[in-house]
Structure 1
Amino acid sequence: MELRCVQKAMMDEYFKRDSERGLFPTFAWFVEEVGELGEALLKRDKAGVSEELADVIAWALSIANLVGIDVEEALRLKYGEVLLKGSASSCDSH
C-alpha cells in the first residue's frame, strides 16, 4: 500500500465532509486523536496505540488534502536522504 494511494483513498472518501467542516475544525479532530493516542500510550495498550495511530495518520492525511499537500512528496523532500538508505529503499521487495 503506497502512501499516495492511501492519501487519495482518504480524499475520495472524506474530502467533501472535511471541506464542509473546515480546516480548523478538522485540525481539532486531529488534535483530539493525538490526545487519544497519548492516553493509549500511557496505558501501554498496544491495540489502542495501533488504532489511535491509524486515526492520527488518517486525520493528518485529511488535513494535507484540505491544504493541497502531497504527503509522500513532502516526506521525500524533508527526509529524502533517510528514505534512500537502509530498509526504506528496499521496502517494495517485502
Structure 2
Amino acid sequence: MDLRDFQQLIDKMYSHKDRERGSAGTFLWMMEEIGELAQAIGEGSDRQTKAAEFADVMAWLVTLANVEGVDLSEALHAKYGQGCPGCGKMVCTCDAKP
C-alpha cells in the first residue's frame, strides 16, 4: 500500500470521528502516540512493538493531514521530490539541518 492509499483508507475508516474531534484533538492524540513510540524506543522494546508504534504514529499523522485537507503524497513530492530542500541535491550536502 502506498501513502496515498493509506491516507484514503484511514479517511474512510475514521473521517466521521476525526472531523468531530478536529485538528487540536487529533494533534493531541498524535502526540500521545509519539510519546508511546519514544517510550518503546527508549526501553529497547522488540521490533514488533516498535513497528506497531510507528504504524500508530503514521496513522495519526495522516489523520491530522485529512482533517486539515492536506494530501501528504503531494506535500512530500512538492517538498522533497526534487532533492533536499536546503541544497537541492538528491544526496544532501548541507552542513547543517536544512
TM-score category, normalised to shorter length: 0.7 to 0.9
Which residues in structure 2 correspond to 1:12-51 (within 5 Å)? Answer: 12-45=12-45, 46-51=47-52
Q: Percent identity?
A: 40
* Structure 1: gaps (5+ residues): 87-94
Partner residue in 1 for 2:63: 62
Letter in 2 for 1:19: R
Partner residue in 2 for 1:90: none
CA deviations on 1:16-64 (whole Å, 9 max, x unpaired) are: 1011112101110000000000000011212221011000000000000
Verify: 1:73 aligned to 2:74, yes or no.
yes
Partner residue in 1 for 2:96: none
Q: Alignment RMSD, CA only?
A: 1.6
Tell me how far 1:81 sits from its aligned partner: 2.5
TM-score using structure 2 length = 0.80
Cα distance in 1 for partners of 2:72, 2:51 equals 20
Structure 1 runs (4+) deviating above 2 angstroms are none
Partner residue in 2 for 1:9: 9
Higher relative contact order (CA 8 A, sep 6+): 1
Tell me how far 1:78 sits from its aligned partner: 1.1
* Structure 2: gaps (5+ residues): 84-89, 92-98
Letter in 2 for 1:44: G
Partner residue in 2 for 1:53: 54
